[in-house]
Structure 1
Amino acid sequence: METTLVILGFLFTLFSFLPFLKVPWWWVRVLDFPRLHVAVLLTIVTAAYCLQYSQWTITEIAMLALWIIAILNQVRYIYHFTPLAKVEALRTEKQQPANAFTMMIANVRMVNKKYQAFMELVLQEDPDILVMNEPDEAWHQNVRKEFDTRFPYHIKKPLDNTYGMMLYSKLKLTGSEVRFLVEDKIPSFYTQVELPGGKRFELYTVHPQPPRLLKDTETREAELLLVAKMVKKTGRPSIVAGDLNDVAWSRTTKLFKQISGLLDPRVGRGFYNTYNAFVPLFRYPLDHVFYDPSFRLLGLRLLDKFGSDHLPIIISLNYEPEREDEQDVPVADAEDYQEANELIQEGLEKGEERNEKKQNKG
C-alpha cells in the first residue's frame, strides 16, 4: 500500500510540473487539461499517506511537501475559474440594453446524426448568431432548410474531416471571409456583424487541432495567436468564438488573451465545461467566447446535450463602448510578444509541412 501511494504521488506530481515545459509535444500539452483532477487525486493520495503514520522521517516530510506544492501549483491555475476569484468580465447594469445579442456555439460532432434534436435546441434558444463546429455536408443538408430561412446571413464551409464550420446570423454580416490560417484543411471565419443600432464588431470563429496521439500542438498555438494579433491590430471591437481545443487556464489561452486584450467571461464565474458531454467527471472548458471590453455580459449558460460529445454554450452581450475603461484588460509585455512570434513561426512551419504531406498523398 505504501509503495503504491508513493508511486501515485510522484506520478501525479510529475503531471503537475510537466506542463511548465514550453514545448508543443502532445503528451505534455494534454496535461494542461486535467489540473483539477490531478489536484484532487494527489490530495487523496497525500491524505491517505498521512493517515498511515504519526511520525515521519525527514525524507517523508520532504516528499509530502513536494506533493503539497504540486497540489497548490494545480490550484493556482483553476482558482481563477471559480466564484472565489475576481470577475474579469463585468455584467451590464442597463435595464433595457439597446445593442444586445445572443450567440450560441456548438460542436455538433460530425458523426452525430441527431440533426432534429440539435435544430429543436436552436429553435428553443433562438440565438441571433449560431456557430457550428464539425459539420459535414450531411449536417449542412439536414439543417439548411430550417436555418437558411431563420438566419438570412451565413458563412458555410462543411467538411468531412471534422473541421467543417458554419455560421448563421440574424444580424447583417459584411466582409465575410473563409480563411485557412495555418493548414489547408482547417478553416476559420472572419466577418463584420452589424448590431441593431448600426454599430459593427468583428467576429472570428476558430477550431484548431487538439493535442492527440502523435499530433503536437504547434498549429493550434499558431492559429490562436495569429487571430490574437489580428484582433489587436484592427483596434475595432472584436469577438473570438469556437472550439479552441484548449482549456481556459492553459499558457496558450492566457497568451492569447494578453496579445488580443480580450476578456474571458468564465473568470470568476465557473468552468462551464463543454467536453466531454458523455463523461461528466471528465469535462473541460474547450468551447470559448472571448470579447472586447466594449461589451458587457448579460448571461452565460451551458445548454442540454443533443447527441454530440460537446455541450453547447450560449452567451448574451450588450455593446457599451462608453464603459469599456471600467474593465481590466489583459496586457502583453515584450516577452509575451516574443513568445507569441516564436510559436507562430513554429506553427506555420509545421502547418506547411503537413500541407505538403497531404498534397503528396493526394
Structure 2
Amino acid sequence: MKSTLITLGFVFSLFSFLPLIRTPLWWIRVLDFPRLHVAVLLSAVIIAYVAIFGVEGAAETAMVAFWVLGVLNEVRYIYNFTRVAKVEALRTEQATPRNAFTLMISNVRMVNRKYDKFLQLVLKEDPDMLVMNEPDEAWHENVRHELEKHYPYTIKKPLDNTYGMLLWSKLKLHESKIRYLVEDGIPSFHTVVELPSGKKFDLFTVHPQPPRLMKNTETREAELLLVAKELKKTKYPSVVAGDLNDVAWSKTTKLFKEISGTIDPRVGRGFYNTYSALVPLFRYPLDHVFYDPAFRLVSLRRLEKFGSDHFPIAITLNYEPQHEEAQEHPVAGQEDRQEANELIQEGLEKGEERNMEKLEDKKPAQ
C-alpha cells in the first residue's frame, strides 16, 4: 500500500510538471488537459499517505512537499476558471442590448448520425449564427434543407476527414473566405458579419488538429497564432470561435490571447467543459469563443448533448465599442511576439511536411 501511494504520488507529480517543458511533443501536450484531474488525484494520494503512514524524517517531508507543489502547480492553471477568480469579460449593462447576436458552436462528431436531435436543438435555441465542426457530406445533406429555411447566409466545407466546417447565419456575411492556413484538408473560415444596425465585425472559425498518438502540436499552435496575429490587422473588432482542440488554461491559449488581445468569457465564471459529453469524469473546455473588448457579454451557456462527444455552447454578445477601454484585455510583450513567430515558423514547416506526405500517399503505385 505504501509503495503504491509513493509511486502514484511521483507519477501524478510528473504529470503536473512535465507540461512546463515548452515542446510540441504530443505525449507532453496532452498533459495540459487533465490539470483538475491530476490535482484531485494527487491531493487524494497526499491525504491517504499522511492519514495512514504519517510523515517522518526529512526524506518523507521533502517527498510530500514535492507532491504539494505538484498540486499547487495544477491549481495555478485552473484557478482563473473558478468563480473565485476575477471575471475577465464584463457583462453588458444595457437592459435591452441593441447590437446583440447569439453564436452557437457545435462539434457534431462526424460519425454521429443523430441529425434530427441536432436540428431540434438548433431550432429550439434559434441562434443568429451556427458553427458546425466535423460535418461530412452526409451531415450537410441531412441538415441543409431545414437550416437553409432559417439561415440565408452560409459558408460550407463539408469533409470526410473530421475537419469539415459549416457556418450558417441570419446576419449578412461579406468577403467570406475558406482558408487552409497550415495544412491541406484543415480549413478555417473568415468573414465579415453585418449586424442589423449596419455595424460590422470579423468572425474567424477554426478547428486545428489536437495532440494525439504520434501527432505533435506544431500545426495547432501555428494555426491559432496566425489567426491571433491577423486579428490585430483587421478593420473591425473580431470574434474567434470553434473547437480549438486545446484547453482554456494552456500556454498556447494564453499566448493566443496575448497576441490577439482578445478576452475569454470563461475566466471567473467556470470551466464550461464541452468535451467529452460521453465520459462524465473526463471533461475539458475545448470549444471556445474569444472576442475583442469592443463586445460585452450577455450570456454564456453550455447546451444539452445530442449524440456528439462534444456539448454545444452558445454565447450572446453585444457590440459596445464605446465601453471598450473599461474592459481589461491581455497585451503581448516583445518576448511573447518572438515566441509566437518561432512557433508559427515551426508549424508552417511541419504543415508543409505533412502536406508533402499526403501528396506522396495519393500518388499511384508504380
In the superposition, the TM-score normalised over structure 1's length comes to: 0.99
Aligned AA (2:21) = L
Q: How does 1:244-283 map to 2 (within 5 A)?
A: 244-283=244-283
Alpha carbons 2:88, 2:263 under 8 Å: kept: yes
Name 2:101's counterpart in structure 1.
101
For 2:32 and 2:277, locate their aligned partners in 1 and report how far apart those are by CA, in whole Å. Answer: 19
Q: How does 1:117-266 map to 2 (within 5 A)?
A: 117-234=117-234, 236-266=236-266
Aligned AA (1:58) = A
For 1:181 and 1:299, locate their aligned partners in 2 and report how far apart those are by CA, in whole Å. Answer: 31
For 1:143 and 1:333, locate their aligned partners in 2 and report how far apart those are by CA, in whole Å. Answer: 45
What secondary structure sits across from 2:341 in the alignment? helix
Aligned AA (2:172) = K
- Shift in Å at residue 148 of structure 1? 1.1
Name 2:340's counterpart in structure 1.
340
For 2:235 and 2:137, locate their aligned partners in 1 and report how far apart those are by CA, in whole Å. Answer: 36
Name 2:310's counterpart in structure 1.
310
Name 1:351's counterpart in structure 2.
351
- Shift in Å at residue 196 of structure 1? 1.4
- Shift in Å at residue 96 of structure 1? 1.1
Alpha carbons 1:178, 1:190 under 8 Å: kept: yes
- Shift in Å at residue 53 of structure 1? 3.0
What secondary structure sits across from 2:233 in the alignment? helix
Name 2:13's counterpart in structure 1.
13
For 2:36 and 2:54, locate their aligned partners in 1 and report how far apart those are by CA, in whole Å. Answer: 28
CA deviations on 1:255-310 (whole Å, 9 max, x unpaired) are 00000000100000000000000111100000000000000000000011100000
Aligned AA (2:294) = S
Alpha carbons 1:255, 1:336 under 8 Å: kept: yes
Q: How does 1:34-53 map to 2 (within 5 A)?
A: 34-53=34-53
CA deviations on 1:18-53 (whole Å, 9 max, x unpaired) are 000000000000000000000000000001110123
- Shift in Å at residue 55 of structure 1? 4.8
Alpha carbons 1:98, 1:196 under 8 Å: kept: no
Segments of 5+ residues of structure 1 without an aligned counterpart are none
In the superposition, the TM-score normalised over structure 2's length comes to: 0.98
CA deviations on 1:155-210 (whole Å, 9 max, x unpaired) are 00000000000000000000000000000100000000001110100000000000
Aligned AA (1:348) = L
- Identity rate, percent: 70
- Shift in Å at residue 236 of structure 1? 2.5
Alpha carbons 1:155, 1:166 under 8 Å: kept: yes
Aligned AA (1:149) = K
Segments of 5+ residues of structure 2 without an aligned counterpart are none
Alpha carbons 1:107, 1:243 under 8 Å: kept: yes
Distance 1:54 1:46, change over 3 A: closer
CA deviations on 1:219-267 (whole Å, 9 max, x unpaired) are 0000000000000122520000000000000000000000000010000
- Shift in Å at residue 213 of structure 1? 0.5
What secondary structure sits across from 1:139 in the alignment? helix
For 1:139 and 1:17, locate their aligned partners in 2 and report how far apart those are by CA, in whole Å. Answer: 41
Name 2:295's counterpart in structure 1.
295
For 1:66 and 1:326, locate their aligned partners in 2 and report how far apart those are by CA, in whole Å. Answer: 41
For 1:334 and 1:322, locate their aligned partners in 2 and report how far apart those are by CA, in whole Å. Answer: 29
What secondary structure sits across from 1:144 in the alignment? helix
**Structure 1: 4+ residue segments shifted above 4 A:** none
Aligned AA (1:263) = I
What secondary structure sits across from 2:145 in the alignment? helix
What secondary structure sits across from 1:259 in the alignment? helix
Distance 1:356 1:298, change over 3 A: same
User: How many residue pairs align between the two structures?
Assistant: 362
What secondary structure sits across from 1:203 in the alignment? strand
For 2:214 and 2:131, locate their aligned partners in 1 and report how far apart those are by CA, in whole Å. Answer: 29
- Shift in Å at residue 143 of structure 1? 0.6
Alpha carbons 1:19, 1:29 under 8 Å: kept: yes
- Shift in Å at residue 54 of structure 1? 4.1
